[in-house]
């Protein structure tokens, strides 16, 4: 029987070690489909129960030189820090000894002290600085893989063979320092995305029968009432049960302006109560809150490789063997055919071995991706993988759904037209009777209007919704239909008076629905929906950032759509669309422009979102379905997050490209220098270390405010 398990490696410092560890585990008997992701340390594999079990796998991993913890066993955070702790301390001490020994050795050589003393300190530095490297090299060798530990060990052993004690010591110690610094900066990137939830306290005051009591977040259950004082962060998704306050939701939605919330309003976990005293009812346990889920998703996203990352990985896999091959040729050809001096060319070959380590190159992409994803998550933009980061950066056209995306999506009835001797109240009553079973925002507005006018809907039967068109139901033996122009065909409005009124309303940007009994129009309702205040700016920013086209898609009629588009500065409008026509248009724009993003409110625009290269769900407010369905989820409902996410993706992609080119360039320069005999071993290590650190630092810039 095969079983899927998930473990976490807590001491991964370099992508290369991750690759060789993955290979090592894959080789174990009874293990299949092992995949280890460097970015998160997560390792998924399926095991054959009869041959191997979880504990055995963990043991094997520690034999391969790494510490694994069981993610499913609970309380892994504790064992994670402990697991890292003791090993990390040992590594730190060894590194300190190695550095000291190396410095003494250098001092000795400067003051021309006896050679045997220099050798003693060199050996000390090599052994302490290289212990873990040699160990990993040994496992790599056992696994028949050539990772950088092996290459570095060979280079150092080679240097020792030709008597370059000091070179060997400096090389290995620099390499250890590089590993140490690299591990630290990579962990910094990891911590940054963990910090998404770190601002949340571990305990909270809860109302109980015996007064307020402190409880741990994990113990909160749905329905519990928690107390939020001014300045406190709401730990999980709640609903305000008592009180009013300005809430800062920046951590979840990226929106820094506090909004006023009161009884009945939803509080997302991670939002801060700035000034009021609130009692809040827990809606979701902590483990299931929006913020916790965002974190999991970012983590998952980070482990999905982008196209560039896969190319880099593939390249790295052939790069190393090729350069090792060059190293052998650099040594063999001059020595065998041109009477080259053994030591000179052997040394140059060793430098090539060091250059063949692809570390900076391999690290160039994943760290930037983690930082980019973390940065956008902090702003309430959830990008579901490096792939979408890349696509977003290259988007040519952005299609927007109108209602709820560019507009508030909250309609209000502004006018009622009645025909055939019906009263306005009667029209509202009939419309409300049909709409009482509909989930459409227009239906909501009509029902709300009826309630406020104290108009009671009639009983209705056989309700049927026509998505994007309207709805129909039976009331007292007659069939009533409500919906858009298109639903009734424009030409059916023969009443001149009505036609004029309708057109007037539409030119003002009102949405209009018609009501008919059987085949006869009996009334019309004009509804207003406000454009979001940020929509126009968002569109302007998109055009400024060089997007070829922004388009508004809507099921609403042409005149209304044009009027709103004009307010927003959108040049292209596609109106009177049925949901399936929206998807067809996505296809059309893809052919015309290339990469296309579709922004919608998530649920009813699902097919179009799925068809676009990047589906952006907006205003998800933590709704599971919408977050799950989209490629990019914007938690708040600010359309300006769309240009923001595109800019951020472009910046991230720019950093990734720079990193790749820069690390390749440094390697290339060093190959030439090494061939000419101008580069020493330690210079090559130093350059590699410098490049790695620079590439990481460049990526970490994404996290700065
Ligand atoms: P949008 O594309 O703007 O999100 P929809 O596709 O949901 O709009 O609806 C398109 C049009 O169909 C609406 O503008 C409205 O005229 C009509 N319509 C759809 N459902 C209903 C309904 N339940 N009641 C009245 N009109 C409706
Ligand atoms: Mg819609």
Q: What is the pLDDT of residues 424-443, one digit of tens each?
A: 899 999 999 999 998 888 99
- CB hemisphere CA count around 296 (13 angstroms): 12
Residue 11 Cβ inside 6 Å of ligand 1? The answer reads: no
What is residue 648's predicted lDDT score, i.e. its pLDDT? 94
> Looking at the domain 410-531, which fold is it?
Calcium-transporting ATPase, cytoplasmic domain N (3.40.1110)
Label residue 234 exposed, middle or buried (CB < 10 Å: 0-12, 13-18, 19+): buried
What is residue 492's predicted lDDT score, i.e. its pLDDT? 59
8 Å CB contact between 471 and 438: yes
Distance 344 CA to ligand 2 centre (A): 73
In whole angstroms, what is the distance from residue 234 CA to residue 546 CA?
39
pLDDT digits (tens, 9 = 90+) for 74-92: 434 434 445 556 777 888 8
Pick from 693, 684, 663: nearest CA to 159:
684
Per-domain boundaries in the chain: 1-145, 203-295, 390-407+532-648, 410-531
Rounded to the nearest 5 percent, the helix, strand and coil shares of the chain are: 55, 20, 25
What is residue 608's predicted lDDT score, i.e. its pLDDT? 84
Distance 470 CA to ligand 1 centre (A): 6
Residue 556 Cβ inside 6 Å of ligand 1? The answer reads: yes
pLDDT digits (tens, 9 = 90+) for 250-262: 777 777 788 899 8
Tokens of 210: 């015996």
Residues in the chain: 705
Does domain 1-145 match CATH 3.30.70.100? yes
Distance 560 CA to ligand 1 centre (A): 12
8 Å CB contact between 480 and 513: no
Which residue(s) pair with 204 in the sheet?
215
* Shortest-distance atom of ligand 1 to CA 557: 14
Q: Please tell me the residue having the least CA distance from ligand 1 atom 18.
A: 470
What is residue 76's predicted lDDT score, i.e. its pLDDT? 40
Spell out the residues 6+ positions from residue 258 whose beta carbon is closer than 8 angstroms to its own.
Answer: 246, 247, 248, 249, 274
Q: Please tell me the residue having the least CA distance from ligand 1 atom 4.
A: 403
In whole angstroms, what is the distance from residue 663 CA to residue 659 CA?
6
Which numbered ligand comes closest to the C-alpha of 438?
A: 1
State the DSSP code for 602.
S
- Could you tell me the pTM of the whole model? 0.79
Superfamily of domain 390-407+532-648: HAD superfamily/HAD-like (3.40.50.1000)
What is residue 527's predicted lDDT score, i.e. its pLDDT? 92
What is residue 643's predicted lDDT score, i.e. its pLDDT? 95
Q: Phi/psi at 671 (nearest 5 deg)?
A: -65, -45
What is residue 398's predicted lDDT score, i.e. its pLDDT? 95
Distance of CA 531 to the CA centre of its chain: 29
In whole angstroms, what is the distance from residue 668 CA to residue 676 CA?
13
What is residue 78's predicted lDDT score, i.e. its pLDDT? 39
Element (H, E) at 334: helix 307-337
* Shortest-distance atom of ligand 1 to CA 579: 6
In whole angstroms, what is the distance from residue 149 CA to residue 139 CA?
10
Residue 440 Cβ inside 6 Å of ligand 1? The answer reads: yes
Residues of the chain with pLDDT under 70: 13-16, 39, 71-85, 190, 192-199, 303, 490-494, 602-604, 621-626, 705
* 401 is an active site residue: yes
Residue 468 Cβ inside 6 Å of ligand 1? The answer reads: yes
What is residue 316's predicted lDDT score, i.e. its pLDDT? 77
Q: What is the full DSSP assignment across 207-226?
A: EETTEEEEEEGGG--TT-EE
Fold match flag (390-407+532-648 vs 410-531): no
What is residue 430's predicted lDDT score, i.e. its pLDDT? 93
Task: Cite the beta strand spans of 476-517 per DSSP E.
Answer: 478-483, 511-517
In whole angstroms, what is the distance from residue 510 CA to residue 413 CA?
9
Which residue(s) pair with 281 in the sheet?
225, 239
Does domain 203-295 match CATH 2.70.150.10? yes
Residue 407 Cβ inside 6 Å of ligand 1? The answer reads: no
pLDDT digits (tens, 9 = 90+) for 684-703: 888 888 888 899 889 889 98
Tell me what percent of the residues of the chain surpass a pLDDT of 70: 93
Distance 437 CA to ligand 1 centre (A): 14
Distance 441 CA to ligand 2 centre (A): 9
Would strands 31-36 and 42-48 be described as parallel, antiparallel, or unpaired? antiparallel
In whole angstroms, what is the distance from residue 41 CA to residue 249 CA?
30
Residue 555 Cβ inside 6 Å of ligand 1? The answer reads: yes
What is residue 428's predicted lDDT score, i.e. its pLDDT? 94
Q: What is the full DSSP assignment across 111-169?
A: TT--HHHHHHHHHHHHHHHHHHHHHHHHHHHHTT---HHHHHHHHHHHHHHTT-HHHHH
Query: Which residue out of 16, 224, 237, 401 is catalytically annotated?
Result: 401
Which numbered ligand comes closest to the C-alpha of 463?
A: 1
């Amino acid at each position: 029987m095969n079983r899927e398990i998930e473990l976490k490696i807590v001491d991964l410092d370099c992508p290369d070690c991750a690759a060789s560890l993955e290979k090592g585990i894959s080789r174990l008997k009874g293990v299949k489909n092992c995949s280890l992701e460097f970015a998160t340390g997560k390792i998924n594999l399926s095991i054959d129960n009869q041959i191997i079990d979880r504990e055995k796998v963990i043991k094997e991993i520690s034999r391969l030189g790494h510490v694994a913890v069981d993610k499913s066993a609970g309380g892994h955070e504790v064992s994670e820090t402990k697991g890292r702790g003791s090993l990390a301390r040992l590594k730190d001490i060894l590194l300190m000894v190695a550095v000291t020994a190396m410095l003494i050795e250098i001092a000795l050589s400067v003051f021309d002290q006896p050679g045997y003393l220099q050798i003693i300190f060199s050996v000390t530095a090599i052994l302490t600085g290289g212990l873990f490297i040699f160990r990993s090299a040994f496992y790599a060798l056992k696994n028949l893989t050539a990772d950088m530990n092996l290459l570095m060990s060979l280079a150092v052993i080679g240097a020792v063979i030709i008597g370059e004690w000091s070179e060997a010591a400096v090389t290995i110690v620099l390499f250890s320092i590089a590993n140490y610094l690299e591990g630290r900066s990579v962990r910094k990137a990891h911590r940054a995305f963990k910090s998404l939830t770190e601002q949340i306290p571990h305990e909270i005051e809860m109302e109980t029968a015996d007064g307020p009591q402190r409880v741990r977040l994990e113990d909160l259950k749905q329905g519990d009432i928690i107390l939020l004082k001014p300045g406190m962060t709401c730990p999980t998704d709640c609903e305000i049960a008592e009180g009013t306050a300005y809430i800062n939701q920046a951590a979840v939605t990226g929106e820094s302006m506090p909004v006023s919330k009161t009884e009945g309003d939803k509080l997302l976990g991670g939002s801060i109560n700035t000034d009021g005293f609130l009692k809040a009812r827990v809606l979701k346990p902590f483990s299931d809150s929006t913020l916790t889920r965002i974190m999991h998703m970012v983590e998952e996203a980070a482990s999905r490789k982008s196209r560039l990352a896969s190319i880099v990985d593939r390249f790295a896999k052939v790069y190393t063997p090729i350069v090792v091959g060059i190293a052998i040729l650099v040594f063999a050809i001059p020595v065998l055919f041109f009477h080259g001096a053994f030591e000179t060319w052997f040394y140059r070959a060793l430098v090539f071995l060091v250059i063949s380590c692809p570390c900076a190159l391999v690290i160039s992409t994943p760290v930037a991706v983690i930082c980019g994803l973390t940065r956008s998550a902090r702003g309430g933009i959830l990008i579901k993988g490096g792939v979408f980061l890349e696509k977003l950066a290259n988007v040519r056209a952005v299609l927007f759904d109108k209602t709820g995306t560019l507009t508030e999506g909250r309609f209000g009835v502004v006018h009622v037209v009645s025909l055939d001797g019906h009263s306005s109240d009667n029209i509202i009553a009939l419309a409300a009777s049909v709409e009482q079973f509909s989930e459409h925002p227009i239906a909501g507005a009509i029902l709300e209007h009826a309630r406020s006018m104290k108009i009671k809907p009639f009983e209705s039967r056989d309700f049927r919704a026509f998505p994007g068109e309207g709805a129909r139901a039976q009331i007292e033996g007659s069939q009533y239909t409500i919906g858009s122009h298109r639903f009734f065909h424009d030409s059916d409005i023969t009443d001149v008076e009505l036609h004029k009124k309708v057109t007037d309303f539409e030119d003002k940007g009102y949405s209009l629905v018609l009501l008919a009994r059987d085949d006869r129009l009996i009334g019309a309702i004009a509804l207003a929906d406000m454009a979001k205040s940020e929509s126009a700016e968002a569109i302007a920013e998109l055009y400024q950032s060089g997007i070829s086209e922004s388009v508004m898609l809507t099921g609403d009629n042409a005149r209304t759509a044009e009027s709103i588009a004009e307010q927003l500065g959108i040049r292209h409008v596609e109106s009177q669309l049925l949901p399936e026509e929206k998807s067809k248009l996505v296809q059309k724009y893809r052919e015309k422009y290339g990469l296309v993003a579709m922004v919608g409110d998530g649920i009813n625009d699902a097919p179009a979102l799925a068809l676009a290269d990047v589906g952006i769900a907006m205003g998800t407010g933590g709704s599971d379905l919408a977050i799950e369905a989209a490629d990019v989820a914007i938690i708040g409902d600010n359309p300006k997050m769309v240009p923001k996410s595109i800019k951020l993706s472009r910046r991230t992609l720019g950093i990734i490209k720079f990193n790749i080119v820069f690390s390749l360039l440094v390697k290339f320069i060093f190959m030439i220098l090494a061939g000419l005999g101008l580069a020493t071993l330690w210079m090559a290590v130093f350059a590699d270390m410098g490049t790695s650190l620079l590439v990481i630092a460049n990526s970490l810039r994404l996290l700065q405010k």
